[in-house]
Amino acid sequence: MSLWGWPWRTSTGASGFGRSSTAEEVTEGIDAHDFTAIVTGATNGIGKETARVLALRGAEVIIPSRTIESGLRVKESLLEQNPSAKLHVMEMDLSSLDSVETFARSFISTNKRLNILIDNAGIMACPFQLSRDGIEMQFATNHLGHFLLTKLLLEKMKSTAKETGVQGRIINVSSSAHRRGYELPFSLDKLNDKSSYKRFTAYGQSKLANILHANELSRKLQEEGSNVTANSLHPGLIQTNITRFLQGAATTCYLAINPKVKDATGKYYVNCNEENPLPEAKDNDLANKLWVFSEELLRKGGK
C-alpha cells in the first residue's frame, strides 16, 4: 500500500516497465561511459535525479545552472553519493535567449561530443510576467529557450552520431497538462496579453509546445537521414515523496539510454511506454506553425 492508502499500480507495458519503475531500474546494467548528456533543470527535483542516474551509469553530465554557485552545490551533493561521477556545471538562464546562446557557444568550444540532450527545465503556473526578451515567461522558459538550445546544439549532436555510430537522443519533458493548452496562440499579441492570461492554461500551452517541437524536429531529422531521434514524455504522477524523483525521472532516463527505444522517434511516452497525447499534439500542420512562430520570435530577438 502507498502512504495515501491506495495500492501501487504495478502493471507494466510493452517496455517491461510501468508506473512504479524507478530510474535506476530502467537503466540497470546499461553502460553509458561513452555518452555525454546535457540535462536542463538538473539543479533540483526530477532533473537532478536524472543527472544522478545518468552519471551513475557512467555518462558525463553537463548541468546548466542560472548561477555557477547553485550548480556547484548540486554537483557537490551528487559527488557525495557517487565520487566518480563525471559532472560539469555551466551557467545558463533558459528564459534569456542571450544566455542560452552563450551557453551553447561555450559548450561547443569545449569540443566535447554530445549524445543526449534532455530539455527538462521548466516553470509552472507563475503569475503573468515577461522574459528579458519580452515573451510570456512560461512560453519563453519551457519552450522557446529549449527550442533555441536544441537548434544551436543540433549540428554537434549530428556530428557526434556520425563520428561514433551511436544514435543521438533529444528528449523533451512535457506533461499531461498539455491537454489544457489546445488553444495555442501563435501570435505574440495573444501570447503576451495580460488581460486574458490564465497561468495553468499558459503552462499547458508551453507543454503542448514541447510535444509539437519534438514531433516536428523528429520529422525534419528523418527527412535528412540524421541518426538522431526526438521524443517527448510526461514524467508521471508520483504517489509519495519517498520515491517521487526516482520514479519521476524513470521515463526520461529510459528514453535517454535504454536500448529498447533505439530508432523510436516522434513519440510521446508515459511511464516508459508509448501513449497517445492530445490529438492536437500530433497535428503536423500545428507543429509546423509552432516551428515557424518560434523561428520568428528568435529573429525578433536577433538569433
Domain 25-302 homologous superfamily, CATH: NAD(P)-binding Rossmann-like Domain (3.40.50.720)
3-state class (DSSP) for residue 270: strand
- Residue 140 carries which DSSP code? I
- Rounded to 10 deg, the angle between the 145-164 and 199-223 helix axes is 30
Residue ranges of domains in the chain: 25-302
Q: Could you give the CA distance from residue 7 to residue 4 in angstroms, rounded to a whole number? A: 9
Chain centroid offset of residue 137 CA: 17
Q: Collapsing DSSP states into helix, strand and coil, what is residue 118?
A: strand
Cα separation, 65 vs 94, whole angstroms: 9
Task: With H, G, I as helix, E, B as strand and everything else as coil, classify residue 159.
Answer: helix
Q: How far from 129 is each of 126, 136, 155, 196, 299, CA to CA, in Å?
A: 8, 6, 33, 13, 21
Give, for 55, the enclosing helix (H) or strand (E).
helix 45-56
Report mean pLDDT in 10-residue bins for the chain, 303 residues: 37 91 96 98 95 98 97 98 98 98 98 98 95 96 98 98 98 93 77 94 94 98 98 74 68 98 98 95 95 96 87
Q: Is 197 a catalytic residue?
A: yes
Strand spans (E) along the chain? 36-39, 60-65, 86-91, 116-119, 168-173, 228-234, 268-270, 273-275
| Cα–Cα distance, 177 to 188 (Å, whole number) | 22
Q: How many angstroms separate the CA atoms of 303 and 293, rounded?
A: 13
- 119 closest CA partner among 89, 151, 161, 167: 151
Three cell numbers written together for 5: 492508502
pLDDT tens for 232-271 read 999 965 543 444 566 889 999 999 999 999 999 999 999 9
- Single-letter amino acid, residue 34: D
CA-nearest of 6, 28, 7 to 17 is: 28
Give residue-wise pLDDT tens across range 71-99.
999 999 999 999 999 999 999 999 999 99
Give residue 185's pLDDT. 67
pLDDT of amino acid 244: 57
Out of 182, 197, 203, 254, the active site residue is: 197
Q: Which residues have a Cβ under 8 Å from the Cβ of 253 and sit 6 or more positions away?
A: 23, 26, 27, 50, 53, 54
Q: 268-270 and 273-275: which strand pairing?
A: antiparallel
pTM as predicted: 0.94
